Structure 1
């Protein structure tokens, strides 16, 4: 089913009643004067872009380790692509584009060096100290670990941006949660600043979440083709991609492969974005929310794929796991990256001073093992791929090759 965008007023510029209103924000944990030139969500977006954590994304893995090639996506380029898609969705649905963009830009701050490999390694190493969750680590970065401002730690972001960061994948407690324990850093912060963990997030955060799926489904295929681990022939097993491939070949016979790949990728993004817009419009017509809180309390996600695209999304993820993420070449690099993270964790637990002068001294020596593990967690999670490799070479005689 499709809807007339113009008739419903979608994408016409003004914010809809269901959009988050930056002029009626629930505010910041620490009260600040209002800016005369920027909305509250614009200020959040700008603060996020100017962080050390944002710059570090340049040298953090998406799929391929950064030095494997200049043209592969890093966590930074992936984040920028997610933000672009989120902003397009927000514009079509008459949402606050700055909030959607801000949530998209901050959503991967907590990722470790070496992508999900580093996260898996830290999760195992920290099993007795609360585990590791990159979403919770993102919250710690923007509420504690970034230390730039004279009057507070973190970025002092608005309630709406923090809520979107924590809940962009859905409620964390209650009937709609997945049954997993809420990570302690989120629980601890929520005691000071209630983020409504049992409700859904704003529609801005929901479009940021689905934009993440659209971006990596498309661009991981692109990087897989660039690496040679995926071939054009292999894409024929994916009905959505096969249909797009057939249409492009029919329209442009003899098109050289780089242009062919780009044409398929852009059409895949367009198809997925338009599907989400159509579904979200239908949900908005059904629920008729009159405020952003009506979206939060609707009891269901409103920005999601249709049934057909849920299947296409699942097919693509299965394909990527089989042919790319679990490819022997990738798994060999992952094993070596895991070793680097494990070695660094052991070294820093044994001698916190190896992390630098500010991690030495009696205060660290007197910490419980759990508190020390958390200090090491924050240090390693903040590393880029390149810094982690350099740290390992400084501390150990042999560093595994990540090739």
Structure 2
């Protein structure tokens, strides 16, 4: 049964370009489907989280991560009586704006773009779904509902202060009320992201042998999970043991969000999706103890995985790829895609506009394409 504070497709805030509604799908279903069919969504297959795309077939990519986030988000949303279709749409779109090479690529591009307004992957996701995807005859972008756009823009909370230029430009023509918290559905997508990447980074770090099971068993939640598996399945093989333990950790995080948020929602007594936005605080949360435990796991992963010597070496390598491609395209815009020729010509006298076009192009690259273009245009290994 859907709660009173759930987002109701019949009360959705509409699309920037009005469209006739579908007979068979709600507006949020259509948003989700358009995101799945977007070119930017397909490219997530060859963009990685921590490891570079070619390092192994078993490591998570942005695509598999987004699917895992959507799965967690649907579960939590359903348990809380929220609109699972809106939750899934936001979850699937939340990483569309990421560059090649994960956060390393984003850091490099942000620094290069600092004279031209910087770079932010959440703002880039808004730019993709409102402008850069160009498949429809009547509009640029995907023409998503306000509700989905709001969720993409501020699923991590209100966006205040100096706005990333891509978000500021769109918000000026279509107010997303960036100063408020998003719907409960978008808040679910944000915490589902935390749950998914903590879980799969433990899996991927173990597979990469950056740390051992004995080491992570000293962390909160994880030791108890391994102990339970060892008691219940004393003779299971190591791979199954690992999976059984980590899926229990995963389950504990999900259960904690549901229990904590259920209590917060009851106390808030918002009565509507608009009421959730007006509360001034998030209602989808971990309990204080769970958040403390998750922070301990994050700190471990930061030290032992994200800053591992082998990962740092690869970070330095891929940073050079972005650092050398950006000025090359900026000084030689004829190297940009031919179908951009008209826009490139219009931007010829405005370096900021041209730099932002270069940023869009590089941000849209997959890991493998960025490597290949660097090898072709600059030299070095592909």
SS in 2 for 1:221: helix
Contact 2:183 2:273 in 1 (8 A): yes
The residue aligned with 2:367 is 385
| Residue 106 (structure 2) aligned to one of 114, 119, 136 | 119
Contact 1:352 1:359 in 2 (8 A): no
Alignment of 1:110-189 (within 5 A): 110-173=97-160, 180-189=161-170
The residue aligned with 1:299 is 280
Describe the shift of the 1:360–1:40 C-alpha distance in structure 2 as closer, same or farther (beyond 3 A).
Answer: closer
Point out 4+ residue stretches in structure 1 off by more than 4 angstroms: 359-362
| Residue 94 (structure 1) aligned to one of 60, 81, 97 | 81
The residue aligned with 1:5 is none
Q: Distance in 2 between matches of 1:367 and 1:309?
A: 53
The residue aligned with 2:380 is 398
Of 271-280 and 234-243, more deviation after overlay is shown by 234-243
Deviations 1:17-50 (A, max 9, x none): 0000011111000000011110000000000000
The residue aligned with 1:287 is 268
| Residue 317 (structure 1) aligned to one of 298, 311, 318 | 298
The residue aligned with 2:60 is 73
2:352 paired with 1:370: yes
The residue aligned with 1:254 is 235
| Number of aligned residues | 381
2:192 paired with 1:205: no
2:44 paired with 1:57: yes
Q: CA deviation at 1:254?
A: 2.9
Q: CA deviation at 1:236?
A: 2.5
Q: Distance in 2 between matches of 1:225 and 1:364?
A: 50
The residue aligned with 2:289 is 308
SS in 2 for 1:320: helix
The residue aligned with 1:42 is 29
Q: Distance in 2 between matches of 1:220 and 1:209?
A: 17
Q: Distance in 2 between matches of 1:45 and 1:168?
A: 16
Q: CA deviation at 1:285?
A: 1.3
Q: CA deviation at 1:230?
A: 1.7
Deviations 1:144-201 (A, max 9, x none): 000000000000000000000001001112xxxxxx5221221221121111111110
The residue aligned with 1:107 is 94
| Residue 329 (structure 2) aligned to one of 320, 344, 348 | 348
Q: Distance in 2 between matches of 1:213 and 1:78?
A: 11
Of 389-398 and 365-374, more deviation after overlay is shown by 365-374
Q: Distance in 1 between matches of 2:349 and 2:272?
A: 47
SS in 2 for 1:189: helix
The residue aligned with 1:10 is none
User: Where in structure 1 are there 5+ consecutive unaligned residues?
Assistant: 1-13, 174-179
Deviations 1:374-396 (A, max 9, x none): 01000000000011011111102
Q: Distance in 2 between matches of 1:155 and 1:259?
A: 42
Q: Distance in 1 between matches of 2:42 and 2:341?
A: 26
User: Where in structure 2 are there 5+ consecutive unaligned residues?
Assistant: none
Of 382-391 and 352-361, more deviation after overlay is shown by 352-361
Describe the shift of the 1:364–1:31 C-alpha distance in structure 2 as closer, same or farther (beyond 3 A).
Answer: closer
RMSD across aligned positions (CA): 1.2
SS in 1 for 2:7: coil
SS in 2 for 1:138: helix
Deviations 1:114-154 (A, max 9, x none): 00010000011011111110000000000000000000000
Contact 1:45 1:102 in 2 (8 A): yes
Q: CA deviation at 1:269?
A: 1.3
Q: Distance in 2 between matches of 1:360 and 1:223?
A: 42
